[in-house]
Amino acid sequence: MPAAKTTTKTKATAKKAKETEANPLQVPFFDALGERNGDVDLPKAIFDEKPNVPVMHQAYLRQMANARQGTASTKTRATVHGGGAKPYRQKGTGRARHGSIREPSMKGGAVVFGPHPRSYAHDMPKQMRRLALRSALSQKAIDGQIRVIESFVFDEPKTKQAADLMDAIGFDNSILVVLPAPNVVVTRSFENLSGAKTILARNMNIRDLFTHTYLLLSKDCLELLEENFSPRDKKNK
């Protein structure tokens, strides 16, 4: 019996140590030059959500559908120009009977069941949209794809400086750079980098999170994300 208790205690200790080492809420923290300065804790209200795949899927479909213009249009027999007169007599020609050169079967004729302007907009409750964002952000944290930077120090727009910063941090795939406020210098520095995109924290969306591997957050964004996307009950507390 004592041996069994010791084995159980050892397994529990190892499990706890592993959980401590792999805490998804602790992410690498970098200074403005890209040098590692330890770790920073992500807010639990945003990054400790259990990923909800169906809600994320619904939010993604909603965003893609709402981006559609819905302006495709075709003409019916009522709107197509011409075709008012019968092209030739009904009988005696040996040809098929036709009453208009704008029939759907004729070249240049109308379109049957073609597209017409419409709205593809999908509705989704605000709390579900926020849940989808928290789920996606939490999944990024679980996958170890989040980095936090102290600030961005760019005197003027320089693509090379932005590329050197990304190399110093160690990114090897697409990056979504999140800023707390509009910054033209930083935005122009990153816009020519393939696979990099800048976005404001308040404009965080599910599509950008899905289409970029890594997330680079300015430290000031953490408070903004918690303020804008926390669950309703946690906001009231």
Enter the pTM of the model. 0.80
The answer to whether residues 158 and 75 belong to one domain is no
Confidence of residue 234 (pLDDT cuts 50, 70, 90): low
Q: Domain total for the chain?
A: 2
β-strands 196-200, 146-149 pairing: unpaired
Own/partner long-range contacts of 80-83 (Cβ < 8 Å, ≥24 apart): 80/109, 80/110, 83/109
| Residue 226 predicted with pLDDT over 70 | yes
Confidence of residue 24 (pLDDT cuts 50, 70, 90): confident
Confidence of residue 48 (pLDDT cuts 50, 70, 90): very high
The answer to whether residues 79 and 43 belong to one domain is no
The answer to whether residues 114 and 141 belong to one domain is no
Domain span at residue 141 reads 2-67+123-236
Phi, psi for residue 216 in degrees, rounded to 5: -110, 110
CA count, 13 A, side-chain hemisphere, 68: 13
The answer to whether residues 133 and 174 belong to one domain is yes
Nearest to 234 by CA among 143, 121, 131, 159: 131
CATH number at residue 29: 3.40.1370.10
The answer to whether residues 34 and 82 belong to one domain is no
- Arithmetic mean of pLDDT, 207-219: 95
CA distance 25 to 46: 10
pLDDT digits (tens, 9 = 90+) for 142-191: 999 999 999 999 999 999 999 999 999 999 999 999 999 999 999 999 99
The answer to whether residues 54 and 131 belong to one domain is yes
The answer to whether residues 145 and 230 belong to one domain is yes
β-strands 26-30, 146-149 pairing: parallel
The answer to whether residues 81 and 197 belong to one domain is no
